[in-house]
Amino acid sequence: MSGQVPGGQQTPGSAPAAQTSAAQTTSQAGASPVEDGRSPVAGTARRELSIGTKLGFLALIGVLGLGFIWFNALFSHKRGVGRGAAQTLYTNGGEVFAGPPAQAAKPELQSLPAPAEDERETVLMLRNGQTEVAIHRKDENGTLKIVPGGYEEAVEYIAQLWRQRREANRDRVDFSISVSAPSNAEAHDISRAIRQQRRDRGEIGIDVETLRATDGAGERDYELALAVGDRVRLFRRTNAKFTETGTVGNIGRNGTVLEIAAINEAGLTLKTITGREGLVTWESLRGEPNGRVQLACGDALTTNIAQGSTVTEHIHAMPAGTKLVSAFGAYTSGSRHREQSFIVTSEGVERAEIIARRPLGDRREIGRADVLNNIVRNFAQAPEKQAALALMECAAGLRRGAVQAVQRVHQAAEARGNGLERPSVLRERMLSRRIAQAFEKQLPGLAAQLRRHGEALGRVARIGADLTEMLANLARRQAASRQSDMEFWRELGQRAERVPGWEKQPRQSRRRGR
């Protein structure tokens, strides 16, 4: 018999079959395996894909295409290529933002200037906990200002720095600068100083109204002078009647800064950053029964209110020192700019804080390095707030620890009760320790008293010894007297026993007495 074994080898009688198969293969060589329904791989039959599989492949291709389009749209501004004007890239805390387009810019790649790149790295250091390196970088490049003097000198310097930066960039149409402070009081005082600088530049008119004002919490009471051109900050949601449409709507909320366009008996005409004007009545501004308006000067804001704003340059002002600033506030205020930021603090306030932390009598001189270390210490603080989940976890941990402690105590008590361990002597040891501690506290005082009254105590001791000796002699005499009495009565009894009939004498005496 001829045939083929499983391994593919032919037996000696299978040659004719192999020749026939080769002839068939040669006759079919001209036909394509795809055309006759066979797979080009291994000559197997081709399987058709189901409709669901085909739709799945199409959906996958569509998703990949949309993702590619979205990716290009998201990062196209990095290449700076476009049909319109090119946009310049700036940084904000490690994130890239597109600045305002230039009027006649060419569609070419624009890189960050060197100072902006340095600022970007410094802000990333503040965010990543490298506070000391970031502060020393700011000190070296001159953007850390430690103003000699106290609070008022620092406020005045901040206003002058604000004016200096505006005048240095007056040719730039897109230039903007902002100021942030840790507290509302500091922001209000800085805003007043900046307001005076703006008045010197002719940006603000004469004062029209002077009102009693307060902040949002009603904790501060101050006089607020208002003039056309002033920038005021709101403390709550405020409605206005817009002049263009005559409709009433919201013009701002807590933290919104508006410019005064007009002042009249009805109220204030305020202008938004987009140019819309609306009349806000005095009744809308007076949120308290005492008639105080809830307004403040708006040229400087607090760190919390300034979040989300992006400007060309920013001034992080701390005239009351850096003690109120933590790592979160330092990063928030340090990342509001696109190009450059300044840190301003008072040297006098920082020195006072350093002295307050030192022990009394420490006369070491305070240098600039100590002030820098104090700023780094405050900026590196990262306080943690206890949330509800953390409180629950802490309570569960306390309960778990209490249960385990009770179990250990009872286990030890049961082991001692069963005789498996020695009895506990903890109570005796604690009592002995308390007694020893009490003696240690009292013995120094007793020794001093003994030294102070030693002579008198010696006389008292001698008198006591003499008195003891007298009492001993008296006791000995009394004992001898009792001994002699006993001997007398014993001798008398012996004599009486020698007299015949002595036992009957008492009865006869009693009879005679009757």
SS3 assignment, position 228:
coil
Quote the CA–CA distance of 345 and 144 in Å, as a whole number: 8
* CB half-sphere exposure, 103, CA atoms < 13 A: 3
Least confident of 84-98, 222-236, 260-274, 418-432: 84-98
Residue whose token pair is 């069963």: 418
pLDDT digits (tens, 9 = 90+) for 230-281: 899 888 888 998 988 889 988 988 888 999 999 988 889 999 988 889 999 8
Is residue 95's pLDDT more than 60?
Answer: no
Quote the CA–CA distance of 162 and 136 in Å, as a whole number: 23
Domain positions in the chain are 114-182+303-359+366-384, 184-299
pLDDT cut 90: percent of the chain above it = 16
Burial class of residue 154 (count of CB atoms within 10 Å of its CB; 0-12, 13-18, 19+): buried
Joined tokens for residue 285: 């501004």
The whole-model pTM stands at 0.54
Is residue 282's pLDDT more than 90?
Answer: no
| One-letter amino acid for residue 69 of the chain | I
Are 162 and 314 in contact, with CB atoms under 8 Å apart?
Answer: no
Q: Which run of H or E residues covers position 384?
A: none
What pLDDT was estimated at residue 270?
A: 92
Quote the CA–CA distance of 345 and 158 in Å, as a whole number: 9
Confidence grade of residue 106 (pLDDT, cut at 50, 70, 90): very low
Are 374 and 354 in contact, with CB atoms under 8 Å apart?
Answer: yes
Residue whose token pair is 């701390």: 318
Residue whose token pair is 């104090």: 374
What pLDDT was estimated at residue 335?
A: 84
Joined tokens for residue 159: 């206003």
What pLDDT was estimated at residue 339?
A: 87
Mean pLDDT of the chain: 76
Distance of alpha carbon 137 from the chain centroid: 24
At a CB cut-off of 8 Å and minimum separation 6, what does 151 contact? 319, 320, 346, 348, 349
Mean pLDDT of 118-139: 86
Is residue 346's pLDDT more than 90?
Answer: yes
Candidates 229, 232, 241, 239; CA nearest to 287 is 239
What pLDDT was estimated at residue 158?
A: 94
What pLDDT was estimated at residue 4?
A: 42
Quote the CA–CA distance of 482 and 491 in Å, as a whole number: 14
* CA angle 367–368–373, rounded 5-degree value: 100
Each residue of 376-391: b (16+ CB within 10 Å) or e?
bbbbbeeeeeeeeeee
Quote the CA–CA distance of 191 and 112 in Å, as a whole number: 31
The DSSP code for 381 is -
SS3 assignment, position 297:
strand
Are 342 and 314 in contact, with CB atoms under 8 Å apart?
Answer: yes
Quote the CA–CA distance of 93 and 126 in Å, as a whole number: 9
